[in-house]
Amino acid sequence: MTVVTPRLTLERRLLGECGLIISLDEVGRGALAGPVAVGAAVMDAAGARRRVPEGLRDSKLVTEKRRPEVAARAAAWVQASAVGWASATEVDEVGIMRALGLAASRAVQAVADQGADVGEALVLLDGNHDYVSKVHPVPLRVRPVIKADRDCASVSAASVIAKVARDGYMAELHESHPAYQWNRNKGYASSEHRDAIRNFGLSPFHRASWAIADVPTLF
């Protein structure tokens, strides 16, 4: 399999039309337990002239062992970064897509609190669906791009930052709920996770509205 190295081609072109890019990517959409997380990475024209950090890729293409160091380099490279969250309870209450929107809106607000001018920004969103605009309290210019986490370096930065943050959170939850092995499966549908659900039932951190018994085992 050929590994695509992300570039700044799209970001540089878009920064000719706007003052700032806020790149977003989500983690945890398909998990059975735990929150969804959306990473945000801010890029301006000066930052887009800097070299892409060594090893930066979509988080799925970086080994778990290397992700923390890559995430640290990514956070130091961009002008600001943050992670927004929506809990399993919120996923149950409003559905996964609106929960993603809530997490994304919180990530945007977090970088705004760090000084990012959201009014001057274009939001570059991995995927083909704008789940942010309907939730965020002020108007946003959103550009969904399929495979942006693979091709666009700023979105790759958001991806790995969010992945490391969520994996760390699931490892912390494991300490109080060790039967589910969240330190290993991060809340996804592994066979050990499914067995623990059958044996112990659902925890408060499971997405109880999902048909968990029917979800295929991923690994």
Give the model's confidence band at 214: pLDDT under 50 very low, under 70 low, under 90 confident, else very high.
low
Give the model's pLDDT for residue 210. 81
Give the model's pLDDT for residue 85. 98
Buried b (16+ CB within 10 A) or exposed e, 51-80: ebbebbbbbebbeeeebeebbebbbebbbb
Token readout for 194 is 């499914």
Give the model's pLDDT for residue 91. 97
Token readout for 106 is 């919180």
For the chain, the structural domain boundaries read 9-177
Q: Rounded to two decimals, what is the model's pTM? A: 0.93
CATH number assigned to the domain covering 9-177 = 3.30.420.10
Give the model's confidence band at 18: pLDDT under 50 very low, under 70 low, under 90 confident, else very high.
very high
What digits encode the pLDDT tens for the residues 66-91?
A: 999 999 999 999 999 999 999 999 99
